Amino acid sequence: MFKGITTAILAAHTDEVWHVEWSHDGNYLASASKDKTAIIWRVGSETETSKQEYMPELILGDHPYSVGCLAWSIDDSILLTNAEHFIKLWNTKTGLCIRILDTHLETVTALTWLPDGSGFISGSLDRKIILWDADGKQRDTWGTMSIRVTDLAVTPDFTRLVAIGIHQLLPAPSVTAIDPNQQRGQAGEAATPPTGRNQPQAKDTENRMIIYDLATKQIESSVRLEGELTSVKISQDSQYALINHAPDEIHLWDLSVGQLARKFSGQRQGRHVIRSCFGGIDGNFVVSGSEDGNVYIWHRDTVALPEVLSGHGSGSVSSVAWNPKNDRMFASCSDDNTIRIWEAPMIHSPYDSTADHQLVQNRELEVMTQPDGDDLGSGT
């Protein structure tokens, strides 16, 4: 069971927060916002009172538009951010922008690093997937595809690329450059995030998941799915793809057999981009945000829903991210302009020392009685 409580509220953004991702070492959290900034938060070392502090280490501004997605390099030295069709590479130690890429012609909706750290892949609504070197030089491309990519992911075993998006039934028209200001209006400034995926779907399109052989770029399978597809995550064993599926479902696909394994329901998703993830020991939890402002946690294998965590304000909880080095901690971000850190309190055995047990009790009391007036113990 994951009995989560809020142990920190991060409130430096001035507008909706759309995406959060932990660094691979678990010491930093990056957030992307409608306020045209990305923030790298530092997780402070535990003190004698066992209280961790979260503070903005770097504020990455100078984005021409809202920031929709981000991705850490494998060694955590570079952070990728997007602003509409632009991709920026940031030095995570200095906060300096290393390079700006503007090859895509429409909104970039996905950024992911290769498992070996040699480069990264971007996907866009312009129906293009591009492979880049780690320094931002274009290495390869999948060409013009049949889908407007809404998200993609690479399996940890380095064998497959899974892309989701809107499939064009009729021959796709050629893509031409779009004025950024015009494009921004088409995307919809109020969307979460602004990818245009909340627009009515044309009759000559359908939603698809496409699985590619990463080495050859050949299609292994293409599956038609009902409803809009907004995010995809791959399990650490490379067997499962977790896909947010509007309306109101999350699908778990078994990539080894190409079949739907399970469905998770209860959360609300209809108009906005919602991102889910695996978490806990061996990825045994599935966690997702929701348009009702809550965070939902299921057991991956039983589909049981042990936790619905409240606490965020009005608006959608857009993204969740589990700390890769702490099985008891994850983050969520919301349209209420904040990020929440959730943790499961330590459960000590009767053999633990009295001093250690009292330390945990003191921390839990401190978390529950923060002086800012916000009830941090908001988990059910």
Identify which has the larger pLDDT, 167 or 376: 167
Residue 144 to residues 121, 149, 168, 276, Cα–Cα distance (Å): 15, 11, 12, 28
| pLDDT of 46 | 56
Which stretch of 51-55, 218-222, 318-322 has the lowest confidence by average pLDDT? 51-55
73 closest CA partner among 116, 103, 40, 31: 116
| pLDDT of 368 | 33
Identify which has the larger pLDDT, 342 or 173: 342
Identify which has the larger pLDDT, 2 or 201: 2
Token couple for 74: 């494998």
Mean pLDDT, rounded, for 149-172: 90
Domain annotation covers residue 375: no
In residues, how long is the chain?
380
Tens-place pLDDT, residues 248-282: 999 999 999 989 999 999 999 988 999 999 999 99
Tell the residue number behind the tokens 């031409």, with chain if given.
176
DSSP, residue by residue, 183-252: HHHHH-TTSSSSSSTTSPPPTTEEEEEEEEETTT--EEEEEEESS-EEEEEE-TTS-EEEEEETTTEEEE
- Model pTM score: 0.84
Structural domain span for residue 91 = 5-368
| pLDDT of 26 | 96
Confidence of residue 342 (pLDDT cuts 50, 70, 90): very high
The CATH number that applies at residue 221 is 2.130.10.10
Whether residue 183 is predicted with pLDDT greater than 50 in this model: the reply is no
Question: 113: which strand partners?
Answer: 120
Number of structural domains the chain divides into: 1
Domain annotation covers residue 237: yes
Domain annotation covers residue 377: no
| pLDDT of 366 | 36
What is the separation of C-alpha 240 from the centre of its chain, rounded to a whole number of angstroms? 17
Q: How far apart are alpha carbons 286 and 276 in whole angstroms? A: 7
Question: 119: which strand partners?
Answer: 133
Domain annotation covers residue 34: yes
Whether residue 12 is predicted with pLDDT greater than 90 in this model: the reply is yes
Domain annotation covers residue 31: yes
Confidence of residue 344 (pLDDT cuts 50, 70, 90): confident
Whether residue 95 is predicted with pLDDT greater than 80 in this model: the reply is yes
Domain annotation covers residue 379: no
